[in-house]
Each structure stands twice: as structure tokens, then as C-alpha cells.
Amino acid sequence: MKCKDLLSIADLSKADIEEIFHATTELKEWHNKGYDEKCLNGKILGMIFEKSSMRTRVSFEVAMIQMGGHAIYLTQSDINLGKREAVKDGARVLSRYVDGIVIRTFGQETIQELSRYATVPVINALSDYLHPCQALTDMYTIKEKFGTYTQAKIVFIGDGNNVARSLAQICAKLDVHFHIASPKGYELTPDFISRTKQMTDGNEVIHLYQDPKKAAENAQVIYTDTWVSMGQEAEKEVRQQAFAGFQINNDILKLAKDDVKVMHCLPAHRGEEITDEVIDGPHSIVYDQAENRLHVEKALLKLLLRK
């Protein structure tokens, strides 16, 4: 991997993504045999979380411990980045203590500023705009289930949000078609779509739909996420009305391929974007997907922190 940081899938080349997947497979196989490579012996990861997290926080912390390192969890009430002190001062000082920084925050620009002034690798653990660690894991999981990602019809039904953007970007990087159905006003924007197209050889890989049923036809993967992301709680009622009809339920699954796989980054809001019968049913791969966060992040840490 050539880049110092992982701020966005846009920073990665196809070769970088394949290198991460290769390392993931090796680390996962070793882990399942009961052995974890101690390649981060003595390394320390600073983890800044300004929003809630279960999967991201725990998987990064477990990854560091299993690889011989250590992680320090820093909430907003601990460091109050950008308020108690400037982001650039936080970046410069943390870089003198730790070997890498993971950050979950609101603005993508905060992560970019942190990266500009940090001399150690910075990993985006979710912003309002992007969730690259999730997208890497999602595509790794698709490859694991299908043997390849290129032939799967991937359909996202829901908000054109951080998770959808990063998934669209990784599809573009790998020349995979990405189908997305969103209610009016919640689509991926034309500006985002044209910038994503520039990541391809000029191919249209993003296909927009307003009708989730049309998008779901012959889908091999159906993916959804919450209708109300962290920070949007005040819009909850308006969003729930706008997204009614975009639920992943058995009626939607009937339109897809018989062996369709259902994905969700979690946390799920059962009865809203996904029904109990679907998330608990035979098509759901959401827990394998969640497990893979650990293995993919181990690969990322190995590739970035040992430079």
C-alpha cells in the first residue's frame, strides 16, 4: 500500500485493495488455526471516537491486542479535539505518543486535517461522509461468499449515506456495478457520482433507482443501512416517512436471485430498514460480514503501522 493513511477508498488503487484482501485472508486463516501473527508487538493505536461504536471500536482494539499491540480509546470527553485544542496540535502531539490513529467523527474535513498534521497513519473509522473500513469489509465478504466480486449484482436499498458512498467507491475502483434505490432527496448526488466515475476508466458503474422493487430484480446481494444515521436524530420522523417502502422484507427478497445474500453494516433497526425474518433468515450474512471487520482491520493495521 502506497498511501500513509486510509481516509477514503478514493485513496486506494485496485492493487492496494487486493493487497489488503490478500493479507486479510492470510490473517483470518492463521487466526482460525489459533495463531495470531504478533506483527504489531509494542505498537500503540490511539482511537478517537466522537460517535458511538460497537463493531469498529471493539474490532480495532481486539485486532491490536491479538497482534501484540495495544489500543487507547479516547472519547470526546477525554480529548475534546478541535475544541480544547486545535486539530493540528492534537495530531502533532498524538503522533509523538502513538504509532497510528483511528478516528470516528462528524466532518470528513476533520479527518483530513488530522491526517495532514499527523506523522503516523490515520484511519477513517467513519465520518458523516464515508465509512471506508466498512466498504473494504463488505467487498471482502462478497468475494469470500461468491469467489469473485465482479459478477455479483450488488443492490443497495436505502439512504445515499456514508456507507453507500464508500461502497459505491470500492465498486468503482474494482469495476463492479453498483445499483442503488433511494427515496427522492436521499440519493447519491450528481457531483459524487461524477467524481466516482473518474475512479473508473470512464465507465458508468453507479445505477440509480427510485423504485426498490425494480432495483432488487435478480439481485445477488441486497444491502441496507439505517434510515437515520448518527447525527441525524432530529430528522428521524421525516426520514422514517420518506423511507417507508424501502424496507428489506420477504417481498423484496422474492424479486432477487434465489440465493441472494443480505448485508447490513449494523447496527440494524429491526422492523424499520430490515425485518426480523430477513436479518435472522437464511439469506442473511450480516454476522459473517461483522466478523470480517476484525480480519480486514488487522490487515490494514499490519500494512499501515509497520511502514
Helices (H), 174-211: 190-197
Residue nearer to ligand NVA on the CB measure, 19 or 128: 128
Residue partners of 199: CB distance under 8 A and separation at least 6: 10, 169, 172, 173
Q: What are phi and psi of 47, to 5 degrees?
A: -120, 105
Residue 124 binds ligand NVA (CB under 6 A): no
The DSSP bridge partners found for residue 205 are none
Binding mask 69-108 for ligand CP (x = CB under 6 A): ----------------------------------------
d(CA 47, CA 33): 28
Interface with ligand CP (CB under 6 A), residue from 10, 39, 266, 303: 266
Q: Which residue in 55, 131, 165, 239 is the catalytic one?
A: 131
C-alpha cell at 251: 417481498
Q: Is 76 annotated as a binding residue?
A: no
d(CA 73, CA 71): 6
Q: Is 183 annotated as a binding residue?
A: no
Interface with ligand NVA (CB under 6 A), residue from 115, 141, 161, 196: 161
d(CA 182, CA 185): 8
Residue 265 binds ligand CP (CB under 6 A): yes
With CB under 5 to 8 Å by kind, the binding choice for 135 among ligand CP, ligand NVA, none is none
**Could you confirm whether 179 is annotated as catalytic?**
no
Residue 124 binds ligand CP (CB under 6 A): no
Segment lying near ligand NVA (by CB under 6 A), choices 86-94, 182-190, 222-230, 298-306? 222-230
Segment lying near ligand NVA (by CB under 6 A), choices 99-107, 156-164, 213-221, 272-280? 156-164
Inter-CA distances, 209 with 182, 227, 249, 250, Å: 7, 17, 18, 20
The answer to whether 215 and 180 are in contact (CB under 8 A) is yes
- Interface residue list for ligand NVA (CB under 6 A): 126, 161-163, 225-226, 229-230, 265
Residues of each annotated binding site:
80, 104, 131-134, 162, 225, 229-230, 265-266, 293
